[in-house]
Amino acid sequence: MAKRQIVKIDEELCNGCGACVTPCAEGAIQLVNGKAKVISDSLCDGAGFCLGVCPTGALTIEEREAVEFDHHAAEEQQKARGKKYIAQHCFRCGASEEKAYLIPCRTGGESIWVCTRCIPALIHG
Ligand code: SF4
């Protein structure tokens, strides 16, 4: 155990949308009984890629005592879940992550995905 950063999920705020499952490359987050859960501290590296996509603000990073991040266990988890994920789409053009690179954005209190082709339009209006 060591003090480190790790994802914290507020179950009261979580609406079970599942948007945070895909961005977690390590497969640390899964939906359990309609709520997002970090299934094992050892799978969460605390990088926080999930934070930007949560529409309710249920995800934060906290610093607490936790087991070390386990690269090997994360790799095994990735292999076990295979390519299963919910494909996300660009809010502007609808491009799927199957064919485009998507980046999470926040606007007006909401989390959205935008593809790299649409980013210039957001920047320049
Ligand atoms: S993105 Fe937020 S609201 Fe949706 S399942 Fe994950 S924690 Fe819950």
More confident residue, 108 or 74: 74
Find the angle CA(77)-CA(80)-CA(81) to the nearest 5 degrees. 90
Reported as a pLDDT band with limits 50, 70 and 90, residue 82 is: confident
Q: Model pTM greater than 0.75?
A: no
Averaged pLDDT, 3-10: 96
Ligand 1 midpoint to CA 124 (Å): 31
Q: 20: closest CA among 58, 68, 62?
A: 58
- CB of 58 shorter than 6 A to ligand 1: yes
Question: What percentage of the chain exceeds 90 in pLDDT?
Answer: 58
CATH 3.30.70.20 for domain 1-86, yes or no, is yes
Ligand 1 midpoint to CA 68 (Å): 24
Between the alpha carbon of residue 30 and those of residues 2, 3, 50, 67, the distances in Å are: 24, 23, 12, 19
